[in-house]
Structure 1
Amino acid sequence: MVGGANAGGAGAGQAIVAAAFAQIAKKGLEGLRQRQVATTVGLDHSTLHHYFPTKEDLVASVVEHTTAQLWPTVRAEGSTADQVRRHLRLMARALRERSELFVVLCELNLRALRDPAIRVILDRSDQAWREALRERLARGAWPGGDPAAGADLVIAAIKGSVFAPEAAADALGQLERLLENPTA
């Protein structure tokens, strides 16, 4: 059982998502096997389809589960510039401390290049993130220029940091300094 959830109870859907997340983190999306997920949580394979009729439904829930753990980095406390800087610092820390979140998101982003269904799922998630950043940057946290482009830069920097997590703090710190002093 994952997380101690009883497969027959209300936590079965969450247990299935957690098991799928763990499988993707360990074996990649190509290694995601619904039968193995069902076995991990103590379900029959056919029962899993009661919770997630398609593999895309399961993947969409994994994306939601993963990104939900990162949303606390986008808090509305302090000035808008402080909010964006805090987001960058917390994302750098998450890259160090919760690398499995980024492994799963990276795996899904790479697959989305070839799989339109996965692309749609990720685009939905990324759009909410992009909008939250764009809003903050539009309120003066972006030193000149287009706040939408600034949001894309922040997202690209964070996504790119997944491939070099040891450099994430330095790279995102540099972006943070750019926000503090754009002429430096």
Structure 2
Amino acid sequence: MTVPYDARRSIASLVDQLATLLPGRGETLATAESCTGGLIAAACTERAGSSEWFERGFVTYSNAAKHESLGVDADLIERHGAVSEPVVAAMLEGTLGHSPADWAIAVSGVAGPSGGSADKPVGTVFIGWRARAAEPEVVRYQFEGDRDEVRSQSVVAALVGLRERIDAG
């Protein structure tokens, strides 16, 4: 799946859109980030007034952090790997379970330059979204580029995906 926006120019614009949409609906966002290391939370909180709609961010880079901070089952990580649809779905559940937020975004991937495999090459990123009253949606992306580019594309895809889901709801 490709991202329809230039990452470097669109992140601030996407955050501006969310900063209008979420408070207008009386809703908030929380994030759980692995390969993006807090970049989504940083992009959101860079905007003044974000405390009105950005609730919190979890940076769960290690498997232990995913388990301890979000309650992701260690056996689930062992069976599927941290970079997987089931683990990202569990990260979404844990994010909403450990916050009062209305929406959650979760990200786990292989940003590179190493760490990839035949099944999950560098650039493989799973991004998930969940509204509190809905089932999780997780999409597998295959991004191109270096570490910074993979991470930037992940941030854009996460924000675009949230915007699309808010618009659809």
Q: TM-score, normalised by structure 2?
A: 0.27
Which has the larger strand fraction?
2
Which has the larger helix fraction?
1
Structure scoring higher RCO (CA < 8 A, sep ≥ 6) equals 2
Structure showing greater radius of gyration is 1
Q: TM-score, normalised by structure 1?
A: 0.25
